């Protein structure tokens, strides 16, 4: 597998816990921390 370090992230969108959709492009020029976790349910 080739490392993607240093390359831009592909465009994507994700809903938050209140179903509001956030697009990566909305945060262009800002720091953004994404936290992914496994849902245990």
pLDDT tens readout for residues 22-40: 999 999 999 988 887 787 7
| pLDDT > 90? residue 7 | no
The alpha carbon of 2 is separated from its chain's Cα centroid by a whole number of angstroms, namely 20
Whole-structure pTM value: 0.59
Please say whether the beta carbons of 12 and 26 come within 8 A.
no
E-strand ranges in 1-41 read 13-15, 21-23
* 8: its two tokens: 């831009």
Mean pLDDT in residue range 8-29: 92
Give pLDDT, residue 39.
77
Parse the chain into domains and list their residue ranges. Answer: 12-41
From CA 15, how far away is CA 6, in angstroms rounded? 26
From CA 4, how far away is CA 8, in angstroms rounded? 8
């Amino acid at each position: 597998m080739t490392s993607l370090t240093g390359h831009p992230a592909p465009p994507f969108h994700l809903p938050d816990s209140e179903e509001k959709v956030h697009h990566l492009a909305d945060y262009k020029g800002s720091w953004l921390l994404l936290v992914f976790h496994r849902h245990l349910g």
